[in-house]
Amino acid sequence: MRPVEPLGLVEILLVLIPIAVVIALSLALRLGQVRRVSIATARAVVQLLAVGLIIGWVFERHTWYWVVGLLLVMTSIAGFTAAGRMGGSRLRLSWLMSLILGGVTAVALIYYTQVVIGVREWDSRYLIPLGGMLLGNAMTAAALAVERVTSDLAREQKDVEVYLSLGASPWQAARPAVRRAIGAALTPTINAMLVVGVVKLPGMMTGQMLGGSAPLQAALYQLLILSGILFCDSMAATLSAGLLYRRLFTGAWQLDRAELRRLGGPAG
């Protein structure tokens, strides 16, 4: 099989033509999407070029500290992004999220690369792409779980207070909401697993086939990554919802109304 055909400047300009068509369509039909599409395109171009250059540079180094360094940078960006989506830009929350996401991803990465695939070295070709995928998914799951637990507790304030008034601990009062939040965080991954290969071919599998892998091998790698994503999603969602529901309660087992109002929107 031939390796993938290289793309250059000319090809990238050609790639931008369909996007220009989208913009033209938006202008013609007054869809109001020009600004969004332009910004998204510009960001995608800059971010992908940068990440391509950086990862390429790390690939050439073949040293463990560059690999770990890059993974750590990715982890903190994921931690800060997740914390931002949880309505708290505070440093402590960002650190906590980085710790959860980093820990979960590290466990999965070690298992899949060392035990399953059997890469016996710091091979950035495996660690960086797998790490990025797992981290990104875990970040989304954690943010979803925490957003959901917060909004549910705000919406069901009354029931939560009934529990508390009967002598329930914050954990007992929040447990139904935490359980639902973890379920909600897993839904996108589970849905993706249900239709994978039938309705759409996942990006990683497509990429591997473009890169010259046999379709069956690409499918098996896709199975590996799905298993990893499900694991990381559920660990990250459980840990973050299981720890962060507590910030909506005071030490004296009361709902923290100020915090609910701040985080839970108008319902609080």
Give residue for tokens 């992908």: 48
Q: Which of 158, 194, 198, 216 binds another protein (CB under 8 A)?
A: 158
Q: CB of 87: closest distance to another protein in angstroms?
A: 15
Q: Does 162 bind another protein (CB under 8 A)?
A: yes
**What whole-number distance in Å separates Cα of residue 183 and Cα of residue 156?**
18
The DSSP-derived string for 93-110 is: HHHHHHHHHHHHHHHHHH
Buried b / exposed e across 184-205, counting CB within 10 Å, b at 16+?
bbbeebeebeeebeeeebbebb
Q: CB of 110: closest distance to another protein in angstroms?
A: 39
Count of residues engaged in binding another protein, rule: CB under 8 A? 19
Instruction: Considering only residues 171 through 190, tell me which ones interact with another protein, judged by CB under 8 A.
Output: 172
Q: Does 254 bind another protein (CB under 8 A)?
A: yes
Q: Does 89 bind another protein (CB under 8 A)?
A: no
Q: Does 157 bind another protein (CB under 8 A)?
A: no
Could you tell me which residues are beta bridge partners of residue 200? 196
Q: CB of 69: closest distance to another protein in angstroms?
A: 40
The DSSP-derived string for 149-164 is: HHHHHHHTHHHHHHHH
Residues in contact with another protein by the rule CB under 8 A: 158-159, 161-169, 172, 250, 252-254, 257-258, 261
